[in-house]
Structure 1
Amino acid sequence: MIEFFHTKDRLRFLLYVGAIAAPLLLISAWVVSSMEESSAAKGEPNAQGGLSYRIQEKSGARTLPPPLASLLSVPPNTAMTDVDVTADSTVRLSSAAVKAFSTDGFKTVAAFHRPTLSPVTTDSANSLEGVRDGYQIRISQETRFFDNDPYKDRTKIEYYINPVKKP
């Protein structure tokens, strides 16, 4: 097989093929990746008859999915890198889990969200819980970092949002 490339013509042919194929493969991979990201950000049908949204972006989600955007704002200096939202057929949020990384400490992030929660049910050094518009929102500082976390030098914050269960 290696002997096939001993002539200059055959080697030149291989280089031409590579010069044409490499950019085509890279462009194709980029197009497919962009299409997958945009479809996940726009929502994909789920078993509840609604949509599921999944955004994983190292630099932070540019926009939050509509069911989540009305409940949660992105604090300054914070990147929401992993957003997983499920909505039912009425586009009402069923559940949401968000991982974010902030250059600010947890106290600053909690202070940003505290005014929007009424009532605040838990307020500690690394956790804030409360209710907003019929949803239980828990914001906590996570101390464990995983290999796939995009930032290890920032404050890791996790958000969990679920509808309030009626007694």
Structure 2
Amino acid sequence: MIEFFHTKERLRFLLFVGAIATPILLVSAWVVSSMESSAAAKGEPNDKGGLHYRIQEKSGAKELPPALAALVAVPPNTAMTDVSVDTDGAGRVTSAAVKAFSTDDFKTVAAFYKPTLAPVTTDSAASLEGVRDGYEIRISHEKKFFDNDPYKDRTKIEYTINPAKK
């Protein structure tokens, strides 16, 4: 096989083909990746008859899924970088997990949400839990950072949202 490329013409041909194919492959990979990310952000069908939303943006989600946006707003100086939401057939949230990073401290972020929760069931230095519109919402200050976390110098906040138990 290697003997095939011993002549200069054949080697030039190989380099010519490589010079043409490489940009085409790179652009194709980028287009496919963008399309997959876009589809996940718009929602993909799940096993509950609803949609599964997955948004991963280092600079923060530009727009939250409608069902989640009705429950939580994005506080100032905060970027929701990893959003995973499942809805049922009626468009109600069945579960949601969100990772966010804020330049503010956790106390400021908790103060932003505290008036929207009624009743507040837990209010500590590292966690705020309460009920809103029939959902249990937990907002916690996470101290542990992972390698894939986009920001290490900000306050890491995790949200967990589930329907309230009756």
TM class by smaller structure: over 0.9
Structure 2 CA distance, aligned partners of 1:23 and 1:111?
Answer: 50
Q: Map 1:149-164 onto structure 2 (within 5 A).
A: 149-164=149-164
Read off the aligned partner of 1:45 and give its amino acid letter.
P
Please report the TM-score for the alignment, with normalisation by the length of structure 2.
Answer: 0.93
Read off the aligned partner of 1:65 and give its amino acid letter.
P
Structure 2 CA distance, aligned partners of 1:164 and 1:152?
Answer: 33
Query: What SS class does the counterpart of residue 128 from structure 1 fall into?
Result: strand
Read off the aligned partner of 1:33 and give its amino acid letter.
S
The answer to whether 1:128 aligns with 2:115 is no
Structure 2 CA distance, aligned partners of 1:4 and 1:59?
Answer: 49
Give, in angstroms, the shift of residue 4 of structure 1.
4.3
Give, in angstroms, the shift of residue 156 of structure 1.
0.8
Equivalence for 2:27: 27
Read off the aligned partner of 2:105 and give its amino acid letter.
G
Give, in angstroms, the shift of residue 9 of structure 1.
2.3
Query: What SS class does the counterpart of residue 37 from structure 1 fall into?
Result: helix
Query: What SS class does the counterpart of residue 30 from structure 1 fall into?
Result: helix
The answer to whether 1:79 aligns with 2:76 is no
Equivalence for 2:94: 94
Give, in angstroms, the shift of residue 2 of structure 1.
4.8
Structure 1 CA distance, aligned partners of 2:3 and 2:102?
Answer: 56
Structure 1 CA distance, aligned partners of 2:71 and 2:106?
Answer: 19
Equivalence for 1:53: 53
Structure 2 CA distance, aligned partners of 1:40 and 1:145?
Answer: 25
Counting aligned pairs with the same residue, the percent is 79
Query: How many equivalent pairs are there?
Result: 166
Give, in angstroms, the shift of residue 14 of structure 1.
2.0
Give, in angstroms, the shift of residue 128 of structure 1.
0.7
Give structure 1 regions of 4+ aligned residues with deviation exceeding 2 angstroms. 1-12
Please report the TM-score for the alignment, with normalisation by the length of structure 1.
Answer: 0.92
Query: What SS class does the counterpart of residue 129 from structure 2 fall into?
Result: strand
Read off the aligned partner of 1:122 and give its amino acid letter.
T
Give, in angstroms, the shift of residue 126 of structure 1.
1.1
Read off the aligned partner of 1:158 and give its amino acid letter.
E
Query: What SS class does the counterpart of residue 100 from structure 2 fall into?
Result: strand
Gaps of 5+ in 2: none
